[in-house]
Amino acid sequence: MIVAAICGAALALRVGYVLALRTTADLTGDAYQYHYGANLLVDGKGFIDPLTYVSGGRAVQTAQHPPLYTLVLAIPSALGLRSVLAHQLWSCALGAATVSAVAVLGRRVAGARVGLAAAWIAAFAPSFWVSDGLVLSETLFLLLVTLVLLAAYHLWDARTPRAAVVLGVVCALAALTRAEATLFLPLLVLLMIAFARDLALRRCFELAGLAVVAAGLVFAPWVAFNLSRFHHRVLGASTGFDLALVQSNCPATYYGGLIGSRTATCLPLLPAGTDETDANRYYRAVARTYVTHHLARVPLVVAARIGRAWGLYQPTQEMRLDAFVERREIRIAEWAYLVYVGLAVAAVPGAVLLRRRRVPLFPMVAMAVTVTVAVVITFGQARYRVSVEPVLAVLVAVTVDEVLRRRSHLASGATGEVDERRDAAPDAPETPVPAP
pLDDT, mean of residues 42-58: 90
Mean residue pLDDT across the chain: 91
pLDDT, mean of residues 419-427: 47
Q: Lowest-confidence range among 16-30, 98-112, 150-164, 369-383?
A: 16-30
Residues 183-236 have pLDDT tens digits of: 999 999 999 888 887 888 888 899 999 999 999 999 999 999 999 999 999 999
Q: Is the distance from CB of 155 to CB of 43 less than 8 angstroms?
A: no
pLDDT, mean of residues 13-24: 90
3-state SS, the chain, equals CHHHHHHHHHHHHHHHHHHHHHCCCCCCHHHHHHHHHHHHHHCCCCCECHHHHHHHCCCCECCCCCCHHHHHHHHHHHCCCCCHHHHHHHHHHHHHHHHHHHHHHHHHHHCHHHHHHHHHHHHHCHHHHHHHHHCCCHHHHHHHHHHHHHHHHHHHHHCCHHHHHHHHHHHHHHHCCCHHHHHHHHHHHHHHHHHCCCCCHHHHHHHHHHHHHHHHHHHHHHHHHHHCCCCCCCCCCCCHHHHHHHHHCCHHHHCCCCCCCCCHHHCCCCCCCCCHHHHHHHHHHHHHHHHHHCHHHHHHHHHHHHHHHCCCCCHHHHHHHHHHHHCCCHHHHHHHHHHHHHHHHHHHHHHHHHHHCCCCCHHHHHHHHHHHHHHHHCCCCHHHHHHHHHHHHHHHHHHHHHHHHHHHHHHHHHHHHHHHHHHHCCCCCCCCCCCC
Residues 65-86 have pLDDT tens digits of: 999 999 999 999 999 999 999 9
Q: According to the model, what pLDDT value does residue 414 have?
A: 59
pLDDT at 256 over 90: no
Q: According to the model, what pLDDT value does residue 415 have?
A: 58
pLDDT, mean of residues 421-434: 44
pLDDT, mean of residues 146-150: 97
Q: Is the distance from CB of 133 to CB of 22 less than 8 angstroms?
A: yes
Residues 326-350 have pLDDT tens digits of: 778 889 999 999 999 999 999 999 9
Task: Give the model's confidence band at 24: pLDDT under 50 very low, under 70 low, under 90 confident, else very high.
Answer: confident
pLDDT at 26 over 90: no
Task: Give the model's confidence band at 431: pLDDT under 50 very low, under 70 low, under 90 confident, else very high.
Answer: very low
Residues 286-303 have pLDDT tens digits of: 999 999 999 999 999 999
Residues 231-244 have pLDDT tens digits of: 999 999 999 999 99
